[in-house]
Structure 1
Amino acid sequence: MSDVASPQPLGRLARPRLYEQLVEQLLGYIESARLQPGDLLPAERDLAERLGVSRATLAQALVALEVLGVIDVQHGTGAVLRHRASVASVIKGLREHRSRLPDIVEARSTLEVRLAALAAMRRTDEDLAAIDAALAAMQREIDDGDRGAHGDELFHQAVTAAAHSPVMAQLMAFIGEMVLETRLESLAQPGRPEQSLASHRGIADAIRAQNAVAAGDAMQQHIELVSDVALLK
């Protein structure tokens, strides 16, 4: 009888996600083209054609790089390189980002639903004016063809301020950078800026009506909407 151990069956290697493959190719292009911080990447249409993918798929990879701070996607200009990074560090960052997204969503549900309810009970005329100004800012951005990220941020800041809860406001500030990650991911989804704005208007209406239950429910529905991102699929 042989003492030689039988070989262990080989496990199937996980196939890299398409956006990870695209990120590797984009970083390879940045390296081969010797782009430096401040340089502009080719237009999305040209990049998509070169890589043989749809613009929607390419946009997902670009947003992933934007979240990690490798590029800055500027409306009307395009993707600008912020710093050159290694493939290994970027893929590691992407996977860490993806793994923490559910925790960020959970934290938002815990904090922002309660903040919306408190805002409905405590809002002042000045608070309502700030909320309306944020909605108008997001509408202008979307009308200009942008994603509305700044107006989105202003809206959530205005709701937080309207709750008049300093400790909860500090907690929101603490997770602010992580919320920014989910904001960029969400608003990059096709049609999402318009959906998010409509959702914001529902929250604002409940706050204006001083209906705490409706405001909390509307915020929960909003968070569920914006948490539907391609990176979690």
Structure 2
Amino acid sequence: MAADRTLVPKVARTRLYEQVAEQITAWIADAGLGVGDRLPPERELAQQLGVSRATLSQALVALEVIGAVTVRHGDGTVISQTTAGTIAQAIREHADRLPEILETRDALETKIAALAAQRRTDEDLAQIEAALAAMAAEIAAGGRGIDGDERFHAAVTAASHSALLARLMVEIGALVRETRIESLSQPDRPQASLAGHRAIAAAIAAGDPTAAARAMQDHIGLVSEVALLDDGS
């Protein structure tokens, strides 16, 4: 009689940036740092950890996505909360839910853009343009444009004049911010995202709901191309 064979579950391979994220949190604990403290500049931290700047940057993005740190342009990386449990597991949980977040964004924001094109007022258009200008200024100053991006999507949502859709966007706001941070942290992505926003704004200003929905869908498609979904990292 053949012996029973128990299948051993496959162990998820820890990617390099996940290992570095674990190293960073261990370094934070060893150094006695807490919420509000700043990490050393990236070049210095990369040397201390013995990793490349590129890998360190990806690890910091992963930590920012799960809320462990906040990266502020001109102010460095600040610890935003102490972490409990396994960092790699938290990062994987984010990656696992990311496709569903993007599906939800596509469903809600595509409709929001179409409604905005139909219902926007002159004041709504002014708020959308102000958000675009704010994002452009952030990027020109060397930032990622995260605050401007958030402001733009909020302005478009307000222009849809749908209280229920606006409430749903608030409900998923923290999850949307995860996708925003991850997308805008990729090289050349802020400018591409700004161009997508301008296309959405132009369609809304023209009162073309079909073009607005298509432009928003294209934009969400761009956001879906995120580095942390790449198992080859």
Same fold (TM over 0.5): yes
Structure 1 residue 84: Cα displacement: 2.5
Residues 138 and 145 of structure 2 are in contact (CA less than 8 Å); yes or no, is this contact kept in structure 1? yes
Structure 1 residue 202: Cα displacement: 0.6
* Amino acid in the other structure paired with 1:174: E
Matched, 1:201 2:198: yes
CA distance 1:205–1:69, shift in 2 (3 Å): same
Which residue in the other structure is 1:156 paired with? 153
Structure 1 residue 37: Cα displacement: 2.1
Matched, 1:93 2:57: no
Deviations 1:106-127 (A, max 9, x none): 0000010111111111111111
Residues 98 and 179 of structure 2 are in contact (CA less than 8 Å); yes or no, is this contact kept in structure 1? yes
Residues 41 and 76 of structure 2 are in contact (CA less than 8 Å); yes or no, is this contact kept in structure 1? yes
Deviations 1:175-205 (A, max 9, x none): 1111011101111111111110011001111
Q: Secondary structure at the match of 2:134?
A: helix
Matched, 1:65 2:63: yes
Q: Any gaps of 5 or more consecutive residues in structure 2?
A: none
Q: 1:33 aligns with which of 22, 31, 44?
A: 31
CA distance in 2 between counterparts of 1:203 and 1:38 reads: 37
How many pairs were matched up? Answer: 230
Q: Secondary structure at the match of 1:57?
A: helix
Residues 182 and 226 of structure 2 are in contact (CA less than 8 Å); yes or no, is this contact kept in structure 1? yes
Structure-2-length-normalised TM-score: 0.92
* Amino acid in the other structure paired with 1:121: Q
Matched, 1:232 2:232: no
Which residue in the other structure is 2:114 paired with? 117
Structure 1 residue 51: Cα displacement: 3.1
Which residue in the other structure is 2:167 paired with? 170
Runs of 4 or more above 4 Å deviation = 6-12
CA distance 1:100–1:11, shift in 2 (3 Å): closer
CA distance in 2 between counterparts of 1:12 and 1:68 reads: 24
Deviations 1:9-59 (A, max 9, x none): 766643211121011111111122111222211111122233343323211
Greater Cα offset, 7-16 or 132-141 = 7-16
CA distance in 1 between counterparts of 2:144 and 2:152 reads: 14
CA distance in 2 between counterparts of 1:192 and 1:166 reads: 31
Which residue in the other structure is 1:146 paired with? 143
CA distance 1:118–1:12, shift in 2 (3 Å): closer
Q: Any gaps of 5 or more consecutive residues in structure 1?
A: none
* Amino acid in the other structure paired with 1:21: Q
* Amino acid in the other structure paired with 1:225: L
CA distance in 2 between counterparts of 1:174 and 1:10 reads: 39
Residues 102 and 220 of structure 2 are in contact (CA less than 8 Å); yes or no, is this contact kept in structure 1? yes
Which residue in the other structure is 1:188 paired with? 185
Which residue in the other structure is 1:211 paired with? 208
Matched, 1:106 2:103: yes
Q: 1:79 aligns with which of 77, 80, 83?
A: 77
Structure-1-length-normalised TM-score: 0.92
CA distance in 2 between counterparts of 1:67 and 1:117 reads: 29
Q: Percent identity?
A: 57
Greater Cα offset, 131-140 or 91-100 = 91-100
CA distance 1:5–1:214, shift in 2 (3 Å): same
The structure with the largest alpha-carbon Rg is: 1
